[in-house]
Structures are given as structure tokens and as C-alpha cells.
């Protein structure tokens, strides 16, 4: 049989409102549950699959053909596949790329992740845009009613602290680029679900990077004697992360700090702001963000389902960036404390590299100092 015509066994997606999409399996032949979200990127499926911010979620790609350049050894953003399930219109069974080491299907099978193909992903995306993201289940060889009942009795996405599931269990040092490399700065990254390209981007700028668990205390972090601290992206509801907020409170004003995505939301909470859930989130590589300081508009990579509300924000804080699609807060700055944060992903992977300048801003803060001990 032509490989292009091979299909796995019948499989279904059941949404919590009872909607059923019928297709076929192309990953692990098992069932899964999670919050169903969509991503609008045209490339970068390997980075999406390995992004810890997708923990607990079933990801739908809106681009129709996925897998055509296979899976390589370079584009992983963490040590494993992080999504709960993966939905595409048409997976490519015959990738063509010199760096490819396996197919998309082989990757999903390796990590026991179910894939669903052959459904109308446009209709599913429209439904999520209209009604909002919702819980769903992918089932292979299971009745829709059985899956729906399991959905209604299981935990919801915003009831689980996924950060504790994806964070590193112990501190580790990101490798130096070569044996003779001499760092300019020492940076600690608080791992709420860090992507490897954040660590690569800091290292390229002369930073010795140590990654610590999200449960690390301010005292444990300061004991590393860092010149600066990064609060990483990550999955889930920031309202569940009081322990990370307490840590950030103990660090603010003592070292320059950069917050990215979930780290931005944590810092917003530190400075009095609340957070709220977006209807269908921002996930993709083409979101326009305006820098209010310069008036310049950047195209950004984003992956978040929650946002910071300006209500209650400390007067010393300043909103620096806004999303031009819906006006939500995309950046904050606390000049007196050498703290700033962004809601989007400056490190891209996947997405445009237009926002790498923000890592340079963090370097400048460390060059200026800002270390306060005691």
C-alpha cells in the first residue's frame, strides 16, 4: 500500500459540550484528556510539541499539512514531548529533510502521545474561537459517551498545578558553548516550564546559566550569587502559583529580573495585578504587539491562555507593551527596581526573532548593576 494512504484505526475527539469529531489515529493508540487549544503557526511543530507551556493541553494546528520535514535532534525545547494530545488535518508520512531522524508519528509513539488526524481542523478552530477553549478527550477504540463521562468527572485544566509537573527536580547548569568560554554574567532561571532557547539565548550573550526548580526559595536562588534572574514561561493558571509569587517577592529589588510569559504574570501578581483567563488564548507566531515606549510594532510568538489585568497594578509599574488584536497587557516595567516582563516569547522557537532585543535589555540591566544583598 502507498504510505501516503496508510491510516491508523478510527479515533475521535469529544469536547465537553458533547461535540464529536471523527478521524483516525496517527500516534500512540491510546486515550488522553486535556484542554483543547489551537496554534496558528505554519511551521515549528517540533518546538510546539516539546514546549512545557502546553502541558495538560491537546493542541490543534490550524496549518493543514504537518510533519513534512520530520523530527530532528536540534529543535527540541525540552527533554520530552509535553502536550497531552496532538490534532492535525493531514500528517506527512514521508518527511524530506537532511536533518530528519524520525517521523512525526514515530515521535508521538515514542512518548505515548495520541495523535488525531482527518478531522476538519478549521471547524474545530472556529468552534474554540466562538465558544472558548474547553476540555476534550481523544479516544482510540472508545465510545464517545464513555469519553464524555470521563471528561465530566475528571479535573479541569485550571485545577491542576502543571508547573510542579514540568519543572526540573534539581538545579542544573546549561552547557558552555566551548571549553575556553568565559561568561560575563551569572544568571539563575526559575524553571516554571523553561524552553531551551531561552537558555541558549542567554548563553550566546555571555551568561552562565543555572536552572533551578520552581519551588526554589528566594534565599536558595540568591545563594547562587546571580547577577540577574529570569522567571520562565510555563503552563497553567498563575492563580495557583502563590509559592512562585512569594519567591519573586523576595527577589524583587535585589537583582535585575526578566519575566517571560508565565513569569510576566507572576510579576504582575507581585505588583498587585490580578490575572484572568482569555477566551481562546494567544498561541502562534504572528501576534502583533506594540511597544508603547517607541511606538514600534513587533510580530511575536505567543503561547498563553491567561493575561494580566491592569487593575490594582502598583503605581510604580508601567505598561510597556500591548497586544494590538485585543488590547491586553503584553509588557510591564518597574524602572526603579530593574525589573521588566513580557507576555510573549522573545526566544521564538517557533516564531520570528524580532524580539531578541529584549534579552539585550536584560544584559544592560545587569551591566548597570542593581545587586542588593541583605
Quickly list DSSP for 270-339: HTT--EEEEEEEEEEEEEEEEETTT--EEEEEEEEEEEE--TT--TT-EEEEEETTT--EEEEEEGGGTE
| Predicted local confidence at residue 1, as pLDDT | 31
Check whether residue 129 and residue 198 sit in a common domain.
Answer: no
Q: Which of 123, 153, 183 is the last residue of a domain?
A: 153
The answer as to whether 224 is a domain residue is yes
Q: Are residues 142 and 80 in the same domain?
A: yes
Spatial separation of the C-alpha atoms in residues 27 and 36, rounded to whole Å: 17
Give the active site residue among 264, 287, 304, 345.
Answer: 345
State whether 180 and 265 are in the same domain. yes
Q: Kindly state whether residue 374 falls inside one of the protein's structural domains.
A: no
Domain end point (choices 133, 153, 173): 153
Q: What are phi and psi of 14, to 5 degrees?
A: -115, 125
At residue 257, φ and ψ (nearest 5 deg) are: -135, 135
Is residue 339 one of the residues assigned to a domain?
yes
Short-list 126, 142, 74, 145, CA closest to 349? 74
Q: Is residue 210 part of a domain?
A: yes
Judge whether 46 lies within some domain.
yes
374 residues of the chain, pLDDT tens digit each: 334 447 899 999 999 999 999 999 999 999 999 999 999 999 999 999 999 999 999 999 999 999 999 999 999 999 999 999 999 999 999 999 999 999 999 999 999 999 999 999 999 999 999 999 999 999 998 899 999 999 999 999 999 999 999 999 999 999 998 889 999 999 999 999 999 999 999 999 999 999 999 999 999 999 999 999 999 999 999 999 999 999 999 999 999 999 999 999 999 999 999 999 999 999 999 999 999 999 999 999 999 999 999 888 998 899 999 999 999 999 999 999 999 999 999 999 999 999 999 999 999 999 998 677 75
Residues 134 and 170 in one domain: no
| pTM of the full structure | 0.95
Judge whether 138 lies within some domain: yes
Marked catalytic residue, from 47, 208, 333, 347: 347
Q: How many CB atoms lie within 10 A of CB 284?
A: 22
Report if residue 351 sits inside a domain.
yes
CA gyration radius, the chain? 21
- Reported as a single tens digit per residue, the pLDDT across 217-228 is 999 999 999 999
pLDDT at position 374 = 56
User: Do 7 and 143 sit in the same domain of this protein?
Assistant: yes
pLDDT at 76: 97
Query: Do residue 136 and residue 215 come from a single domain?
Result: no
* Helix, strand or coil, per DSSP, at residue 47: helix
- How distant, in Å, are the alpha carbons of 210, 236, 329 from that of 269? 25, 15, 13
The predicted structure's pLDDT at residue 3? 44
CATH number (domain holding residue 96)? 3.50.30.20
Q: Could you tell me the CATH number of the domain that includes residue 226? A: 3.40.50.880
Catalytic residue among 261, 282, 287, 333: 261
Residues 218-239 as b/e (b if ≥16 CB within 10 A, e otherwise) read beebbeeebbbbbbbbbbbbbe
Say how many domains are in the chain: 2
Annotated catalytic, 261?
Answer: yes
192 is catalytic: no
Measured distance CA(130)–CA(166) in Å, rounded: 30
Q: What pLDDT sits at residue 370?
A: 66
Q: Which residues, 6+ apart, have CB-to-CB distance to 221 below 8 Å?
A: 188, 190, 212, 229, 247, 251
Question: Does 193 lie in the same domain as 74?
Answer: no
Q: What is the pLDDT of residues 86-138, one digit of tens each?
A: 999 999 999 999 999 999 999 999 999 999 999 999 999 999 999 999 999 99
DSSP letter (8 states) at residue 212: E
Determine, yes or no, domain membership for 41.
Answer: yes
Specify whether 167 is located in the same domain as 67.
Answer: no
Does the annotation count 347 as an active-site position?
Answer: yes
Under 8 Å CB-to-CB from 120, ≥6 apart: which residues?
21, 89
Nine cell digits for residue 61 = 494546528
Asked if residue 287 and residue 191 are part of one domain, the reply reads: yes
96 and 23 share one domain = yes
Note down the domain range covering 89: 3-153
Decide which of 94, 125, 153 is a domain's last residue: 153
What pLDDT, on the 0 to 100 scale, is given for residue 179? 87
209 and 117 both lie in a single domain: no
With a CB cutoff of 8 Å and minimum separation 6, the contacts of 170 are 213
Query: Is residue 121 located within the same domain as residue 193?
Result: no
Identify whether the C-beta of residue 263 lies closer than 8 Å to the C-beta of residue 341. Answer: yes
Amino acid at each position: 500500500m502507498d504510505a501516503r494512504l496508510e491510516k491508523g484505526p478510527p479515533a475521535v475527539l469529544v469536547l465537553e459540550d458533547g461535540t464529536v469529531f471523527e478521524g483516525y489515529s496517527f500516534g500512540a493508540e491510546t486515550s488522553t484528556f486535556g484542554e483543547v487549544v489551537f496554534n496558528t503557526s505554519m511551521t515549528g511543530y517540533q518546538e510546539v510539541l516539546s514546549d512545557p507551556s502546553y502541558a495538560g493541553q491537546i493542541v490543534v494546528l490550524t496549518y493543514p499539512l504537518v510533519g513534512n520535514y520530520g523530527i530532528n535532534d536540534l529543535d527540541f525545547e525540552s527533554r520530552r514531548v509535553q502536550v497531552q494530545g496532538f490534532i492535525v488535518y493531514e500528517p506527512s508520512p514521508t518527511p524530506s529533510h537532511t536533518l530528519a531522524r524520525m517521523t512525526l508519528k514515530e515521535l508521538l509513539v515514542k512518548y505515548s502521545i495520541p495523535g488525531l488526524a482527518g478531522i476538519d481542523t478549521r471547524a474545530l478552530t472556529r468552534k474554540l474561537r466562538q465558544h472558548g477553549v474547553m476540555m476534550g478527550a481523544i479516544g482510540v477504540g472508545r465510545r464517545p459517551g464513555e469519553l464524555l463521562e470521563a471528561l465530566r468527572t475528571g479535573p479541569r485544566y485550571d485545577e491542576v498545578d502543571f508547573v510542579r509537573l514540568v519543572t526540573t527536580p534539581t538545579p542544573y547548569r546549561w552547557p558552555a558553548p566551548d571549553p575556553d568560554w568565559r561568561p560575563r554574567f551569572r544568571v539563575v532561571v526559575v524553571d516554571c516550564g523553561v524552553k531551551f532557547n531561552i537558555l541558549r539565548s542567554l548563553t550566546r550573550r555571555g551568561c552562565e546559566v543555572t536552572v533551578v526548580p520552581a519551588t526554589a526559595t528566594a534565599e536558595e536562588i540568591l545563594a547562587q550569587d546571580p547577577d540577574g534572574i529570569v522567571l520562565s514561561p510555563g503552563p497553567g493558571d498563575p492563580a495557583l502559583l502563590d509559592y512562585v509569587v512569594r519567591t519573586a517577592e523576595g527577589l524583587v529589588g535585589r537583582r535585575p529580573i526578566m519575566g517571560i510569559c508565565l513569569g510576566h504574570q507572576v510579576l504582575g501578581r507581585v505588583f498587585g495585578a490580578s490575572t484572568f483567563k482569555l477566551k481562546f488564548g494567544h498561541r502562534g507566531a504572528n501576534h502583533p504587539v506594540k511597544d508603547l515606549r517607541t511606538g514600534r510594532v513587533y510580530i511575536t510568538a505567543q503561547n498563553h491562555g491567561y493575561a494580566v489585568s491592569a487593575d490594582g497594578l502598583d503605581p510604580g509599574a508601567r505598561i510597556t507593551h500591548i497586544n494590538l488584536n485585543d488590547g491586553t497587557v503584553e509588557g510591564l516595567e518597574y524602572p526603579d527596581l530593574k525589573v521588566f516582563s513580557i507576555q510573549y516569547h522573545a526566544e521564538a522557537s517557533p516564531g520570528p526573532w524580532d524580539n531578541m532585543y529584549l534579552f539585550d535589555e536584560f544584559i544592560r540591566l545587569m551591566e548597570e548593576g542593581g545587586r542588593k544583598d541583605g
